Structure formats: C-alpha cells, structure tokens
Chains A and B, each alone.
Chain A
C-alpha cells in the first residue's frame, strides 16, 4: 500500500464501509481514486468481499425435529410443579397468611400496652399525679397476659414459633410492668 502509515491506516479503516456502500462524498472519491492505483488496497477490498460473501453463504439452520414437543412437555412439568408448590389455602386466599395474623396480634398487644399502661409508667415519680388503683394495674396486666397467652396458643396450634422481632417489645414491656408491680408491692 502506498503512502505514509497514517495514510494507509485511513484507507484501511474504510475498506469495510466501502464494501458496504457506506462511504460517501469526498471519502468515497478519495477511496476510489486510490483503489485504481493501489494493489494492496485492492487485495484488501477483495478479502473483505470474500469474507462477507462467505459468511452470507452459510446455511440457515433449523431447529431439530421434536425440540418444540420436548419443550412443551417440559413446560407442562414446570406448570405442574408450580401448581403443586402452592398450598390450597394460599391459592384460594380463604385465610390470610399466618404471618399477617401474628403481626396483627402483636400489634394489638402493643397498642393495649401503650394505651393502658404506658401513661402510668411514664409518670411514676409524680407524687401529686393520680395513682392507678391496684385493681386497675392488675386488670391491665391481666389484659396483656391474656394477649400474650393468645399469641402463644395460636403459635402452638400452628406449630410455629412466634417471630421474636414482633413479640420482643411486648415481652420487654411485660417485664417492665412486672418489675414495677413488684416494686409497688414491696413499698406497700
């Protein structure tokens, strides 16, 4: 190929665009002019055309016979497995998922605690505030205990362990109440 290596590189880069008919304007004119006198460039164009033609002559391939049938049979298996993987209750949505029930119960217990006992616990030192009577404390305590017992019973029934993350705050609150209760008894 004639000319400097930079010049040669310029023509070399444009061989494939020329073969594809993507060269235009002054680039096309320069390339075709050079092609008339440059034997190396001509050979490169021929090589590019041969490669392109050889690839285009490759046969179109067809899927093997029976492939679709095999896939359909596997697809049916996939569907069957997916159907078996779901419990009837979940599929029909006749009962809510167990974890929703747990979360609701734990939330209820926390709310009971917050409404009834928390205000009393937050102001235990104020001597001038109205102290709850022993009967009120016992009643609130009993409500929390019953709620926890209910959560525990449902857990036993379902043979599932109650999620600690949900019950922990309630348990913590309970121990706090019990400690406060004991302290009150000691004072009395």
Chain B
C-alpha cells in the first residue's frame, strides 16, 4: 500500500474510527492520542492488511486500544467522567436555556454516563450500531462476533441503559 493509498484509506474510515474512540473514551484529548497510535500501527502493518478488511482491522485495533486506555485510567485512579469538549458535542442543541433544553441535556448526560459505564462488548456495540449506524454484518465483522450475538448483545445493552436511566430519573424526581 503506497502513501497515497494509505491517505485514501484514512480519509475513508478515519472519521468513523475517530468517532468510535471519542464516544468510547468520552475524552477528546485521550481520543486524539489513541487515534494517532492506531494510525501509526496501520502504517506499520499496511502491507499485511487485506484491503477489503481495512475498516474491520482499524476498528479492532481501535477497540483494543480503547480497552487498554480504560484499564490504564483505572490504574491511574484519575478517571475522567466528564470532558467539557466532549459533552459540548451532544449538549449544544440550541435550546439549552429552555426547561426542555435543560431537561434534555440532563437526560443526555445521564445517558452518556451510563453508556460510559457499560462493559464490552455491550459498549462497542451500542456505539457502533446506535451512534454510528453500522450494519449488523459490519459490527459482526469488526468485533468477530456472530450476527445473532450482535443483536442479542445490543438488545441487552439497551435494556441495561433503559433500566439504569429509569432508576436515575426516579432518583432525580425523588430528590
């Protein structure tokens, strides 16, 4: 793969991979570092990767790097739950000052907090399917999981989110 082909591949899949990393880590600065690491690995291995499977390869490497980063965070004990740059991405709905806008932002913050807490593969599947809109077959390819398992995991993950968000809202209303 030449440098030009490499750049074309990064242009084609880079945004999707970057989006996955940001939503997985919930922190843009860490996401930038991880993304750079993923692309350097891609450069080093570019001659060995089947051009038909570049997207799946990149997603696998990105996911593993995110899981590693998560582990490092836990060991560092400086777990950053809310990153302003990141929350701004989903909070800026143009109605922040209205009651509905504030309520909507709180809901989104609760929701993203719960997504953040999901274990893998639930978290990866929610991001890939719900946020990034990948097809089940693409997710199956990226995560090396059977198609039926992807659907089952997705339903379970969303049920977990629903249960936790409902509990959170009941707690908020009671408070």
Please tell me if A62 contacts chain B, counting CB pairs below 8 Å.
yes
**26 interchain pairs, CB-CB under 8 A:** A12-B159, A16-B155, A20-B155, A22-B151, A44-B162, A47-B162, A54-B108, A54-B111, A55-B111, A56-B131, A56-B133, A58-B23, A61-B18, A61-B19, A61-B23, A62-B18, A62-B19, A63-B15, A63-B18, A71-B10, A71-B36, A71-B43, A75-B43, A78-B40, A78-B43, A78-B44
Please tell me if B62 contacts chain A, counting CB pairs below 8 Å.
no
- Whether A59 contacts B32 by the Cβ 8 Å rule is no
Chain A residues within 8 Å of B36, by CB: 67, 70-71, 74
Which of A22, A44, A75 has its CB near the most chain B CB atoms (within 10 A)? A75
Chain A residues within 8 Å of B10, by CB: 68, 71
- Whether B14 contacts A63 by the Cβ 8 Å rule is yes
B-side interface residues toward A, CB under 8 Å?
A: 3, 6-7, 10-11, 14-15, 18-19, 22-23, 32, 35-36, 39-40, 43-44, 89-90, 107-108, 111, 115, 126, 130-133, 151, 154-155, 158-159, 161-162, 165-166
Closest chain A residue to B108 by CB distance?
Answer: A54
Closest chain A residue to B161 by CB distance?
Answer: A51
- Whether B32 contacts A67 by the Cβ 8 Å rule is yes
- Whether A64 contacts B32 by the Cβ 8 Å rule is yes
How many residues of chain A get a CB closer than 8 Å to chain B's CBs?
Answer: 31
Q: How far is the CA of A113 from the CA of B137 in the complex (A)?
A: 66
- How many contacts A-B (CB < 8 Å)? 91
Chain B residues within 8 Å of A63, by CB: 14-15, 18, 35
Chain A residues within 8 Å of B32, by CB: 64, 67
Q: Is the interface of B mostly helix, strand, loop or mixed?
A: helix
Q: How far is the CA of A36 from the CA of B26 in the complex (A)?
A: 39
Please tell me if A60 contacts chain B, counting CB pairs below 8 Å.
yes
Closest chain A residue to B40 by CB distance?
Answer: A74
Q: How far is the CA of A188 from the CA of B4 in the complex (A)?
A: 82
Chain A residues within 8 Å of B108, by CB: 54
- Whether A71 contacts B40 by the Cβ 8 Å rule is yes
Asked, given contacts A47-B166, A55-B126, A58-B131, whether A72 binds B161 with beta carbons under 8 Å apart, the answer is no
Q: How far is the CA of A50 from the CA of B166 in the complex (A)?
A: 12
Please tell me if A17 contacts chain B, counting CB pairs below 8 Å.
yes
- Whether B15 contacts A60 by the Cβ 8 Å rule is yes
Minimal beta-carbon separation of B146 from chain A (angstroms):
16
Please tell me if A141 contacts chain B, counting CB pairs below 8 Å.
no
Q: How far is the CA of A12 from the CA of B39 in the complex (A)?
A: 42
Chain B residues within 8 Å of A58, by CB: 23, 89-90, 131
Chain B residues within 8 Å of A59, by CB: 89-90
Chain A residues within 8 Å of B43, by CB: 71, 75, 78
